[in-house]
Amino acid sequence: MILAHHKSAKKRIRQNEKRRSRNRHGRSTLRTAIKKVEKSVETEQAEQAQVSLRQAVKRLDKAVNKGLLHRNNASRRVSRLTRKVKALASPS
C-alpha cells in the first residue's frame, strides 16, 4: 500500500474515508428499508407494507438529495415497490 507524503494527499485520504463510510451507511439503510417492504409484501401484510413503503420512499428521496442514487434510479425503485404494494392491497 502506498502512503501519502503530501499534506493535501493525507487530507484527501481522510476525506475519502469519511465519505465512503457515510455512503456505505446510507446505502445500507436504504437496502434495509427496501427489504422491509419486500418482506411485508411477501408475507402479505398490507398495512405493514404501506408503512414500510413510506419509509423506503423517504430514504430513496434522501439518497437522491445526498447524491447516492440518480433520480431516475430512485424513481424506478419507488415505482416498482409501489406496484408490489398496490397489487397486494387489491388482489384482482
Contact 89, 46 (CB under 8 A): yes
User: What's the pLDDT score for residue 4?
Assistant: 87
- The Cα-based distances of 59 to 1, 6, 11 in angstroms read 36, 38, 30
Count Cβ atoms below 10 Å from residue 17 Cβ, excluding itself.
10
User: What's the pLDDT score for residue 58?
Assistant: 97
Stated pTM of the model: 0.85
pLDDT at 91 over 70: no
Contact 68, 33 (CB under 8 A): no
- Cell triple for 50: 404501506
7 or 90: whose pLDDT is higher?
A: 7
Contact 20, 49 (CB under 8 A): no
How many Å apart are CA 38 and CA 32, to the nearest integer? 10
DSSP 1: -
pLDDT at 92 over 70: no
Q: For the chain, which domains are there? A: 7-89 (1.20.58.110)
